[in-house]
Chain A
Amino acid sequence: MAEKEKRQSWSDLWLHEDYWAIWFGAILILVVAVGLVEAVPKIGKWTGNPLDAFSGGVVLSVAALMVGLGLLTWIGMILMKLEWKVYLGGFLFIFLLSILSYVLASQATMKAWGVGYAIWGLFLGLLISNTVGTPEWLLKSARSEMFIKTGLVLLGAEILFSKILKLGGPGLVVAWIVTPTVIIFMWYFGTRFLKMSSKKLTIIVAAATSVCGVSAAIATAAACRAKKEELTLAVGMTMIFTVIMMIGMPALAKLMGISPAVGGAWLGGTIDSTGAVVASGALLGENAEKVAAVVKMIQNILIGFVAFVVAVAWVTKVDRDPNAPKPSLMEVWYRFPKFILGFVLASVVFSFLLLPLLGENDVAAILKQTKVFRGWFFCLAFVSIGLESNFKELAGQMVGGKPIILYIVGQSFNIVLTLFAAWLAFGGILFDKVF
């Protein structure tokens, strides 16, 4: 009983990291919404001189951002009674590494190749932890889960449910029928056929492959409380295969002589990253590019659903002792990752409250800035994950190459099924032809 009371304490609201992710997200959305922050700084693109990344007074605003986010999260650390005395020093170091990650990702060729901040953040963190080692004081500030959860709450705001029905039937057929089918296929293939030891890694790779790569991997990993190495592996594989598919898929579509609408839908439903979808879709023409982008965006909306379902499934089924009695609703509530509620709540508030109240342009202006906040939090998270990981543990996740087999088989299934769905939906079979 005492245990039960402890589990339901109101103090969780200011002692638990999951709730703090919600508070952080809400505060950051609020400061943008009321105009306290008009522009969240971004690192600029550069070609030959890295200093060009800081042109236009970005240095001061990035420094202000570092101090602001540092103080905000420090207050949370104090109230959560965590290592707040050493936190700020470590946070500043992690933020500087995050800046470096963004600078490296903003180099023109890196941007062209799609080598983003996530990979650079992980690499820099891993480089330090595997060479000179990560100092204890720095590890205490590497709050990767706190950063990820906060980023996910901010991401929730960007998913506008009220737009879903406005996106069109054919796109829904491609994105919403194929995606869950591929996730289920990969889950059974990974757990039953490959007999992968980590069910968490299986679902992360499945979500990353079928939904939208890095963001889906982050959301799913957080929902099932996966190991950092599992997320790292999924993100790394996704980014490598995205580059390959970004070049290969449009070439294949041209070779097969597919119409622009079907080709665009095919690319939108299969390539993991939204940016890569648009880039490769453009190769098939303007119309294909638009269809590809629309299909991808419809698919991206599934991030929230997938994260929610995975969180519930893990609490009620996957992570439960099969011999134990069915958990009560309170038990489910206790074990449920609360930041997922923040993710959903942010989406609902923006979709059904702010959008009708403020209108599309104002909401778009807010999201344009919160999106940058979210990027910084994810970058902080990836640097932290790198600092906490080592290559040996990472290599241990490969276990006979099963994760790569899972990815390749799952992605191949995805490619075939999406082509069929794209032909049905955009080829004039189920709906009138778009183009």
Chain B
Amino acid sequence: MGEIMEGNRKSGGWVGLFLGLAAVAAFLTFAHWISPELSGAAGEVFQNNMEQEIDATALIYTDYGDVREFLVEDGRYGIELVPLGPF
């Protein structure tokens, strides 16, 4: 066991691991407790962020359907749609 545990530099051992996991649990509990307490702009932004389904990615197609509908309406940005080739 000692041999196969030499793969990476380490410190703290199992106590450190359990302390780390305990810190995660404490953080989640704290976050869960404080979240409803947040009000005003921050609370609203967080609420929006929780409800939306867009990943932090390069998507044109997203779960946020309204944007897609918005995209294909020409004229909204002051220009006509420019078709590319046969599409």
**Interface residue tally of chain B, by bracket?**
35 or more
A434:B82 contact, CB within 8 angstroms: no
**Cβ–Cβ < 8 Å partners of A246 in chain B:** 45, 49
**Residues of A in contact, count (CB < 8 Å):** 88
Nearest opposing residue in chain B for A372, CB measure: B55
**Cβ–Cβ < 8 Å partners of A290 in chain B:** 66-67, 70
In the complex with contacts A108-B50, A110-B28, A136-B4, A169-B79 CB distance below 8 A: yes
Contact with B along A324-367 (1 / 0, CB 8 A): 00000000000000000000000000001001100010011001
- Complex CA distance for A170 and B9, rounded to whole angstroms: 51
Binds B, one of A66-74, A190-198, A292-300: A292-300
Nearest opposing residue in chain A for B77, CB measure: A168
**Cβ–Cβ < 8 Å partners of B13 in chain A:** 131-132
Interface residues of B in 5-64 (CB under 8 A from A): 5-17, 20-21, 24, 28, 31-32, 34-35, 41-42, 44-50, 52, 54-64
A132:B71 contact, CB within 8 angstroms: no
**Cβ–Cβ < 8 Å partners of B46 in chain A:** 109, 112-113, 279
In the complex with contacts A368-B61, A371-B55, A283-B78 CB distance below 8 A: no
In the complex with contacts A109-B31, A127-B20, A139-B7, A163-B60 CB distance below 8 A: yes
Binds B, one of A55-63, A179-187, A387-395: A387-395
A159:B49 contact, CB within 8 angstroms: no
**Cβ–Cβ < 8 Å partners of A167 in chain B:** 71, 77
A275:B58 contact, CB within 8 angstroms: no
- Complex CA distance for A107 and B49, rounded to whole angstroms: 12
Would you give 23 A-B contacts (Cβ < 8 Å), ordered by A?
Answer: A109-B34, A109-B46, A109-B50, A111-B49, A112-B46, A113-B31, A130-B10, A130-B16, A132-B12, A133-B6, A134-B7, A158-B58, A165-B84, A166-B71, A168-B79, A283-B44, A293-B54, A301-B60, A303-B58, A367-B61, A371-B55, A375-B55, A433-B78
Interface residues of A in 91-141 (CB under 8 A from B): 104, 107-114, 116, 123, 127-139
A275:B56 contact, CB within 8 angstroms: yes
In the complex with contacts A132-B14, A431-B77, A159-B60 CB distance below 8 A: yes
**Cβ–Cβ < 8 Å partners of A432 in chain B:** 78
Count A-B pairs with CB separation below 8 Å.
224
A137:B4 contact, CB within 8 angstroms: yes
A392:B9 contact, CB within 8 angstroms: yes
A215:B58 contact, CB within 8 angstroms: yes
Nearest opposing residue in chain B for A239, CB measure: B56
A247:B41 contact, CB within 8 angstroms: yes
- Complex CA distance for A166 and B83, rounded to whole angstroms: 7
Nearest opposing residue in chain B for A304, CB measure: B58
B4:A274 contact, CB within 8 angstroms: no
A111:B57 contact, CB within 8 angstroms: no
- Complex CA distance for A280 and B12, rounded to whole angstroms: 40
B8:A390 contact, CB within 8 angstroms: yes
Most chain B CB inside 10 Å of its own CB: which residue of A45, A110, A155: A110
Cβ of A380 under 8 Å from chain B? no
In the complex with contacts A48-B32, A131-B12, A294-B71, A278-B55 CB distance below 8 A: no
How far apart are A359's CB and chain B's nearest CB, in angstroms? 11
Most chain B CB inside 10 Å of its own CB: which residue of A112, A368, A431: A112
Q: Which of these, A45, A110, A272, contacts B31 with CB under 8 Å?
A: A110
**Cβ–Cβ < 8 Å partners of B70 in chain A:** 290, 294
**Cβ–Cβ < 8 Å partners of A276 in chain B:** 49, 56
**Cβ–Cβ < 8 Å partners of B52 in chain A:** 275, 278-279
